[in-house]
Structure 1
Amino acid sequence: MFDVFNYSLLTVLLIAVLYPLYFVIISSVSNPDLVNAGQLWFYPKETTLEGYRRIFNDDTIWLGYRNTIFYTVLGTAINVVLTLTGGYALSRADLFGRNFFTFLIVFTMFFSGGIIPTYLLVKSLGMVDTIWAMVVPNAVSAFHLIITRTFFQSTIPKELLEAAVVDGCSNTRFFLRIVLPLSLPIVAVITLFSAVGHWNSYFQALIYLNDDALHPLQIVLRNILISSQMSENMVDDLVSSSQQQRVAEVMKYGVIVVASLPVLVLYPFVQKYFVKGVMIGSLKG
């Protein structure tokens, strides 16, 4: 009975999570009039690809894709380098003031300066309306730094460092040649966490970026979903406002699918690394 209850409950939760996504997908290829009338439930009706055709013919979507990929690659590279080096330094027992530095990092997880002071800082550094506003303010995550430090403390024995020092190995060489090859799981975890965070990020772009040419895909998606701001290329052949509103509805669902597709495709293959990241953070150290 216990197994029956668990499977039944998990099945209900699975349906509750998957159905909204399924509904978005079938709505993106169905007649928008039927979607608005609430006649769409389990399968697409009067299938049409008009929304996707208009989306992929628009340069704004492709520009947003390009910007998002660039921010994700650059931001993830910065995150991984700084997090691994910082986490390794904090894991070393011979680091002077290690506990004090750890306290300062953990303190930021509970208290922050707020949006306005952060914006003033970014502005004073001349990063407003530049690509650096998307990657520098969140270059290091305190949570990622803590789980990285915990991994190094529990995985890399101090005897290994002592043996390397006896053989004349420097700290830098020990980190690059010994620590990193033994730490591929945490490298994968930090890379995936950072990449997903950058891909879904839109709040920083909303605050710091005024130039439309720098907007990531998530801002383009937000403008279409919330503000109904569509480029002229999307609706230039539609005369009446009713026609534009009709097409806008089906395009909204299509844009959600287009923006979410890369993560949806990759997630089943990297799910185990997300679970491993949670387990690493749960270890005491």
Structure 2
Amino acid sequence: MPEGHSIHRLARQFSDVFVGERLAVSSPQGRFADGAALLDGRVLESARAHGKQLFLGFEGGLSLHVHLGLYGAWDFGGDSTFRGASSIGAPRRVGEREIADGGAGDGGEAAYAGPPPPVGAVRVRLASEHGWADLRGATVCAVVTAPEVDAVLARLGPDPLATAQPRQRPGEEFARRLARRRTPIGRLLMDQSVIAGIGNVYRAELLFRARLDPATPGSSLGRERALALWADAVAALGQGMRDGRIVTTDPSFWPLPEGELPEPRDAHYVYKRHGQACRVCATTVLLADEAGRKLYWCPGCQSI
């Protein structure tokens, strides 16, 4: 499932290529025909992410609410003026790296003749004069009002990447939410009502970087350790948003020239490294089931 940094990159891409444009909205698949009809011909006014939730705000107070889930993805394309043609979402299909997909053929504006015929089950198509975006496979795809957007946000915890949040001090709010729960921290980090945007990769890597045993109750962390965990989440997801990939290891572990990102095998400390030696202490990295999701950790480093 795409984690929070990918959804914020999506919001930024929509802002770059569609905000301020009057869009043609359709549902080639047909499942979203009624919702598309409500949005068709309206100007897109904003694009906002909170955790794994994306809200595209249209004139008239309506928003398109999308949660990609495990299999959802957006594809983009357009002419030479359409910045950022790519695919974002569904890591099993396109990976953490966005994949270039220039829709103008040879890259020239004159070659662009509008969106291509839909391929597969396209739930929603957004199209402007210069480009298009197709949504497939999303868990949530709905037209919502402003009060309904507020209701979704009220159910979510603070987002390490959100610049404007209803709570003035999101790190303190995160610490308060942990302090109220004796649930293991390895489960709390995946609870979107505690912190929004963390998925399986960031969960494993943040706990390793904090040297935290995943079984540690949230209430036992204390304020200072909780705030340190929050600060590292802000840094890690910020790096992911900048690079378009989740890279959590220190550059000293990368056998590459300075400034280049590592290969996937060198990008993580423990995620998908079960049975291998820990990069730091050489203890075997373990794998367990935690509430139906795979949890990776090093029992040597993560003993606090």
Instruction: Give me the TM-score of the superposition, normalised by structure 2.
Output: 0.19
More helix by share: 1
Higher-Rg structure is: 1
Instruction: Give me the TM-score of the superposition, normalised by structure 1.
Output: 0.20
